[in-house]
């Protein structure tokens, strides 16, 4: 139980060190589109895409050509020595 609490504390520290609150996280369910159409029908750069790139970098593609969402939550596991690792 102690290890689970330490992991939760670590996650909260990481979240708050980025300047985000729980209501304003930088997680994206999917990578925002680079361009959107505004109310005038003009193609403009998406401000959410700019925000994504600011925190996570320009999206890269995997071996199948799909964009990798770096903001997606990662499974955290502990090894035998209680070292925290991220599952692939």
| pLDDT digit string, tens, across residues 32-72 | 999 999 999 999 999 999 999 998 899 999 999 999 888 87
Kindly provide the residue ranges of all beta strands, DSSP E only, lying in the chain, ordered along the sequence.
Answer: 35-37, 43-45, 76-78, 84-86
Q: Assess whether 38 and 61 both reside in one domain.
A: yes
**pLDDT at position 14 over 50:** yes
Q: What pLDDT is attached to residue 77?
A: 79
What is the residue range of 21's domain? 1-27+73-88
Verify that 58 and 88 share a domain, yes or no: no
Same domain? For 7 and 19 the reply is yes
Q: Are residues 47 and 65 in the same domain?
A: yes
Average pLDDT along the chain: 77
Q: Residue 84, CB half-sphere, CA atoms under 13 Å: how many?
A: 12
Instruction: Report the domain count for the chain.
Output: 2
Whole-model pTM: value is: 0.57
Distance of CA 38 to the CA centre of its chain: 26
Question: What is the rounded average pLDDT of the residues 65-82?
Answer: 82
What pLDDT is recorded for position 12?
54
């Amino acid at each position: 139980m102690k290890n689970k609490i330490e992991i939760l504390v670590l996650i909260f520290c990481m979240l708050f060190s980025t300047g985000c609150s729980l209501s304003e996280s930088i997680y994206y369910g999917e990578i925002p589109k680079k361009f959107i159409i505004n109310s005038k029908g003009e193609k403009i750069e998406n401000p959410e895409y700019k925000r994504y790139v600011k925190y996570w970098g320009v999206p890269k593609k995997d071996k199948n050509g799909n964009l990798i969402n770096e903001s997606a939550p990662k499974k955290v596991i502990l090894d035998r020595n209680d070292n925290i690792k991220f599952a692939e």
